Amino acid sequence: DREWLTELFQLSKVNMQKMLPEIDQNKDRMLEILEGKGLSFLFPLMKLEKELLKQIKMDPPQTIYKWIKDNISPKLHVDKGFVNLVTSFLQYISNEVCPTEELGLSAALAKQLEQEKQLLLFKPVMQKF
């Protein structure tokens, strides 16, 4: 059963990423390989982190908390890997606050202020976890 295998795998402390060829030693590639083999359940938070980033981009902040509650087992909330989900939020916020495109200074400041207001909508979600 999957739960038993996941627990056994976690106890083994095998570093799956280090077992991959050097060129594939990143989280995205590892997840892709595991999904291809039907083993992504061994790293539930890694897959959820990727999905959460998609949700953040598509849905309003008010629905993100509900999405987390519906899709992430409370048992995983105490997992140290749960920090990776916060990383998704920070990645999104960082990309929104510090865009790579060049804008005029006043336009950039106005845009940044508006983005910060939008990002503040995520505050209740972050405070819950």
Mean pLDDT, the chain, integer: 78
- Same-domain pairing of 61 and 30: no
Cα separation, 81 vs 67, in Å, equals 18
pTM value is: 0.54
Q: Structural domain tally of the chain?
A: 2
Domain that holds residue 91: 43-129
CATH of the domain at 88: 1.25.40.180
- Same-domain pairing of 55 and 33: no
Q: pLDDT digits over 7-40, tens only?
A: 899 899 888 888 889 988 888 889 899 999 999 8
- Same-domain pairing of 71 and 89: yes
Cα separation, 65 vs 124, in Å, equals 8
pLDDT score recorded for residue 88:
67
